[in-house]
Amino acid sequence: MAETLAVRTLDRLGVVLVLAGIAGAGLLPFIYVKANRIASGKPMLLTQLLNQPSAIALTLLLVLTAFAVLFLENARVRLAISTLCLAALIATMGVVATAFTPEGSTVARMTPGGGFWVLLAVTALVVSDALVKIRLTPWMRIAALALYACLFVLFLRSGLLDSLSIMREYANRGDQFWSEALTHVKLAFGSLAISVLIGMPLGIICFWVPKLRSALLQGLSLIQTIPSLALFGLLMLPLGYLATHVPLAAALGVSGIGAAPALIALVLYSLLPVVANTVVGLEGVDPAVRDAASGMGLTRQQILTGIDLPLALPVIITGIRIVLVQSIGLVTVAALIGGGGFGVFIFQGLGQTAMDLVLLGAVPTVIFAFSSAVILDAVVDSIRGPAA
């Protein structure tokens, strides 16, 4: 109890988060009330919603969270308060959206404003900071991620958020949403698998042949300098020619537009992190360990598979994490050449000036990338062990 109520000195992160939360709540709209999906809408600040009990409860919890961030030492108490505030924030948005939606209306749209997104980001950072301070084990971090995912799914399944504009867009495009989600996952993980199969052997060769290392890494770095949209466009012409003149390529699904140029571009972008991290990981192995293994009679291949690769694995997986998060983001651009994925909704929304449709593609992309990063970070830390 004494530890729980212990007062701590102000930390800079806490002050910045509290100031950002105050600015977001006081200056930016919490919600936009729109007559239809393309209307500009009427902005409503959180302070203008204080005639509703849910908004009053949320305000009190925000104040309590700010107090906890600034003054409470116990990270577990801060985690409990900030989690409660996060749940109240999402619930209040749903309640307010339902209250402002005319009964029976199918065209009215209630869009979360900048104030809501700032408060969501600030509260999520407070939760993340508390989780870091608690020092969870890697697998406990994954369990925490699953717990918060279950909480989010619970809100979605309860119907509390059905009046939100993004949920209205989902209701109109539910089948297409899951089809594009599957395409997004296939492109992200497919390009990752191919880049690992190609990149790891190249990294091993670069480690064994230093003269080749510089030229190969510089070549891969050059590919990274090409803008993603330009690279997708450059691949359209040769792949279109190949599909026209080689029947087997066309039969395999290769064409100038669609998944083929998107997959090839993603693999080319992914090679540098995989090759570079493989080289760095192998160079990090203590030469004395390798010499001892050689002295015991192990062959070069046995040293590679039994000593070098296991010891270099955390660094290699760190490169894979970078590739996966990068690919999840780049797949959205692939929608411009018919590659599919969540980018379809983003570019359709931009073309129709419908930001709710943009959010339908952007929000799951961010959640997918964040979850992948947390899981792979936990895998790396579990391999490195407690001493890391």
Segment 285-312 mean pLDDT = 87
Mean pLDDT, the chain, rounded, equals: 87
| 74 has pLDDT over 90 | no
pLDDT digits (tens, 9 = 90+) for 186-223: 999 999 999 999 999 999 999 988 888 888 888 888 88
Cβ atoms of residues 127 and 79 within 8 Å:
yes
Query: What is the structure's pLDDT at 240?
Result: 79
Q: Kindly report, residue by residue over 17-37, the tens digit of the pLDDT.
A: 899 999 988 899 999 998 887
> pLDDT value at position 9?
62
Rounded-to-integer distance, Cα 206 and Cα 214, Å:
8
**Is pLDDT above 70 for 70?**
yes
What is the pLDDT confidence band of residue 8, given thresholds at 50, 70 and 90? low
What pLDDT score does 228 carry? 79
Task: Please check the confidence at residue 386 and state whether its pLDDT lies above 60.
Answer: no
> Which pLDDT score, from 0 to 100, does residue 211 have?
85
Chain segment 240-259, per-residue pLDDT in tens: 787 788 777 777 777 777 78
Confidence of residue 262 (pLDDT cuts 50, 70, 90): confident
Question: What distance in Å separates the CA atoms of residue 27 and residue 23, rounded to the nearest whole number?
Answer: 6
User: Token digits for 61?
Assistant: 């919890």
Question: Rounded mean pLDDT of 272-288?
Answer: 91
Q: How confident is the model at residue 10 (pLDDT cuts 50, 70, 90)?
A: low
- Helices marked H in the chain: 12-27, 53-71, 75-100, 114-134, 138-158, 165-172, 174-208, 210-225, 228-245, 247-251, 259-283, 287-295, 300-303, 309-334, 343-351, 355-384
Which segments of the chain belong to CATH 1.10.3720.10? 174-384
pLDDT over 50 at 86, yes or no: yes
What's the pLDDT score for residue 81?
94
pLDDT of residue 346: 92
**Least confident among 16-20, 49-53, 253-257, 383-387:** 383-387
**Is residue 104's pLDDT more than 60?**
yes
**What DSSP letter does each residue of 245-296 carry, written as one string?**
H-HHHHHTT--SSSHHHHHHHHHHHHHHHHHHHHHHHHHTS-HHHHHHHHHT
Percentage, residues of the chain above pLDDT 70: 96
292 pLDDT higher than 80: yes
| SS3 call for 43 | strand
Provide the CATH topology of domain 174-384: MetI-like fold (1.10.3720)
pLDDT digits (tens, 9 = 90+) for 318-369: 899 889 998 999 899 888 888 889 999 999 988 888 888 899 999 999 999 9
Residue 1 binned pLDDT confidence (cut-offs 50, 70, 90): very low
Q: Which residues contact 382 (CB under 8 A, 6 or more apart)?
A: 137, 138, 139
Length in residues, the chain: 388
Long-range contacts of 336-339 (CB under 8 A, 24+ apart): 336/229, 336/232, 337/232, 337/233, 337/236, 337/257, 337/258, 337/261, 337/262, 338/257, 338/258, 338/259, 339/183, 339/187, 339/232, 339/258, 339/259, 339/261, 339/262, 339/263
